[in-house]
Amino acid sequence: MELVFLGTGAGMPSRRRNVTSIALNLLDETGGFWLFDCGEGTQQQILQSPIRLGRTDRIFITHLHGDHLYGLPGILTSRSYQGGEGTLTLYGPVGLRQFTETVLTLSQAKLSYELDIVEIVEEGIIAEDEMFRVEARRLNHRIESFGYRIVEKDKEGKLDAAKLKELGVPFGPLYGALKQGKSVTLEDGRVINSADVVGPAVPGRIVTVLGDTLKTDSAVELARNADVLVHEATFDRSKADMASRFHHSTTEDAAQTALQAGAQVLIMTHISSRYGEEETEMLQQEAREIFANAFVAEDFWSYRIPYRITME
């Protein structure tokens, strides 16, 4: 599981930062990719990344401002030309269906795959399968904006093959029973307990990706104990009044949210174009004064999310 930052700027693209889009690389988990927001130019950014549109099967839009949305039509149509055949599910606020269907209809676009649009009406679990659960909550922005909490389900502990061999447990159905947490009885009458030969379950990872927002309790709840919190930090702390006026966050807001939530890592994005390369360290340092494990994302920067305990 890896986050790939395709666009890390705010408002409009600059020479250094494109507007917002983040990919979650799930090749090792599901064989595909998820996208979070699709600002203008996202498909051009994808061309310079390991992301493959044909294997992208979910797109989550945080809100309907253009710097998070205007790249979506190109993404949807290009997917048809890049081997995308399976269903693509699009999630986001009410209005996303009208925007998407209007653009596709007026441009007479023909998709080679099924497009499923899920508009979020109520907070809570919006998607769940055998591997992941996704929760959405409203944030505090000028228009309806959502944050997403992606929870990987716990993985079963590993069988200790060496110990099973030592105990004389024959390979086959008994291995499966032990893996399922059952006790088994061998031909000589010995009882083997699952807990003695199966390692502890591996806790799933938690990733939180927020849309634009003022500091809010909803963000803290979405990021509770997250392995990674991706939080907008449009302004430095000296511009708190400006952040409040435009319903955005500062580096200090992002850091306080990460601290209150008990997150492991904070990655800040949606950086105002007023900040050049030389100011990036200043923004990062402001956050680190509150939350030590904080980073400012750059376009094409990636972060691999480790398990908290070893999988071995």
Active-site positions read: 67
If you ran DSSP here, which 8-state letter would residue 67 be given?
G
Instruction: Please state whether beta strands 228-232 and 266-269 pair in parallel, antiparallel, or not at all (unpaired).
Output: parallel
Q: How far is CA 218 from CA 136, 198, 310, in A?
A: 10, 38, 31
Task: Show Cβ contacts of residue 8 under 8 Å, excluding neighbours closer than 6 positions.
Answer: 17, 18, 20, 269, 270, 271, 297, 298, 299, 301
Name the pairing type of β-strands 115-120 and 88-93: parallel
Contacts of 81 (CB under 8 A, 6+ apart): none
Rg of the chain over all Cα atoms, to the nearest angstrom: 22
Bridge partners (DSSP) listed for residue 258: none
Distance of CA 79 to the CA centre of its chain: 20
Strand partners, 137: 147
Please name the amino acid found at residue 41: G
Instruction: Give CA–CA dist 5/18, Å, rounded.
Output: 10
Listed residue (124, 303, 298) closest to 205, CA to CA: 303
Q: What is the DSSP letter of 70?
A: T
142: left (phi over 0), alpha (psi -120 to 50) or beta: alpha
Residues 190 and 167: their CA atoms lie apart, in Å, by: 10
DSSP code of residue 16: S
Name which of 40, 109, 122, 120 is nearest 81 in CA terms: 109
